[in-house]
Structures are given as structure tokens and as C-alpha cells.
Amino acid sequence: MDPRRPILRLEGIHKRFAAQEVLKGVSLELFPGDIKVIIGPSGSGKSTLLHCINFLVGFERGRVLLHEQPIDPADKPRLCAYRQKVGMIFQDFNLFDHLSALDNVQIGLVRVKKIPRREARERALAELGRVGLREHAHKYPAELSGGQKQRVSIARALAMDPEVMLLDEPTSALDPELIGEVHAVIRDLAAGGMTMLLVTHELGFAAKLAHEILFMENGVILEQGPPEVILRNARLERTRAFCARIAGLHAGPAEAPA
């Protein structure tokens, strides 16, 4: 993998819901090992952008390229292969309630990758162990805490060997005492060199994790740069005001930017 070439590139993504233009020509690049964090007010288009990247919603204009190859969502086999390389973690976990943690992780290996069930089980157990949940493999989502559910969803994505992880506010549905366990898994992924694009309001966590922070509002990226610039010395007054307000609402002693 050439570190000088982006793994994932967006060109001028435009998305409209009825009369509302939600994304107005968003472009960005993710290089190997990049960790980029998108921040911004609710309704700015952050989650919609991630959904467009994974083709969960269509968009009117623009392109998504993986290793400089444009993805055509009408080409279903290629789209399926693309989604294996670009994993997605949702706010609400998206687990199958009727399947155990083990089966939630191995189902894609068996049905999509066509891996033999015994091999898939071993891989699923290894990924659950990676997120600290091997001993909970037999449990169903209803028997797991929110933090455990999110870790199962991360294990499920990792089992597909993604090159990029998209994380859409992965701790927003969790009680405060459960957020740390998901943060720990994400930090481990970062330490292992995983390329990530993360949407979050947790500025303290973003400051410690991100290589670059992108401030998004009204469907455009207004400003981007290193965390120490965006969070403490942003060029735009709007960025500075947003960061100050969110830091005051969400930052605790352990996570507050220094």
C-alpha cells in the first residue's frame, strides 16, 4: 500500500433530501493510517456524509474512489467487495437481536466471504477477544450492555478485514460510564494503524486521537487542520464558538482538552 496515495477519496459529494441540500460538494482524502474526525452541529450533514461514503444512501453528484478506482453502486458485486473494505460502525449498534454475539460477528464471514463455519467461528472468537468480549460470545444483544454491544459491532466490522473504518458517533447511545470501554477499543485500533473517519461531539477524545479535525456546517467543510489548531486556535470565529460551547457541555476532567 502506497502511503502517498489515498485509500479513500471523495470528490464533490452532493446530497439532497427533497428541497433540502444536505451536502454541498464535500471532498476529502484518507491516506493509510489517517485518523480524521468530523465535528459540527446537528444537521450539518456529518452522518449523511458517512452514509454516502458507504452507499447506504444515494447522492446526486460526486464520486467515491477506493485506491483511485471509482465505485459504481449499480455494480452490486463490486459494491459488496467495497463494503468489506470500508467498515461502518453505527450509533445504534445494528446487531441482529436473534443472534448471539458470536453469530453476529461470524455471519458476514459465512454468508459474504463464504468462509467455512468452523474457520469463521475461530475468527469471530478472535475478534471478540480483541475487543475484550470472548467470554460473552454466547450472549444475545439483550444480555449485553450498550458498551458491549458497540464492541460486538466493532468486532463484526473488523472480522471483514476492512482497510477503512467509518464510525458514526459510536458512543452517543451509551451511558457515560460505558463510553470509556469503546474509546479504549478505538484507541487500540488507532495504535494498530487502522485508517478511520470518525464523527463525534467528544472533543477531548478527538483531540487525543485525531491527526486532523474537520469542522462541518450546513453541508460543507468550513475548516480543517490539526487538533491543536482547530480546537484551540481556529481561523474562523464560528469554529471557535462551536468548540468552546461543545467543550463546555461535554468535556469532563479526564477528557478535557489541555
Which of the four pLDDT bands, split at 50, 70 and 90, describes residue 155? very high
State residue 246's pLDDT score: 82
| pLDDT at position 245 | 87
Note the pLDDT tens digit of each residue in 89-132: 998 899 999 999 999 999 999 999 999 999 999 999 999 999 99
- Give the pTM: 0.91
- CATH of 8-250, picked from 3.30.70.3270, 3.40.50.300, 3.40.50.970, 2.60.40.10, is 3.40.50.300
Task: Find where cell 464492541 sits.
Answer: 151
Q: What is the mean pLDDT of residues 169-177?
A: 87
Q: What pLDDT is stored for residue 176 in this prediction?
A: 83
Average pLDDT along the chain: 92
Please enumerate in sequence order all residues whose Cβ is within 8 A of that of 31, keeping only pairs 6 or more positions apart, or say none. 3, 4, 5, 6, 7, 195
pLDDT tier at 254 (50, 70, 90 boundaries)?
Answer: very low
3-state secondary structure of 209: helix
More confident residue, 172 or 212: 212
Residues forming beta bridges with residue 17, ordered by sequence position:
20
Tell me the C-alpha to C-alpha distance, in Å, between residue 105 and each of 19, 80, 151, 156: 39, 17, 11, 4
Locus of grid cell 480483541: 130
Spans of all domains in the chain: 8-250
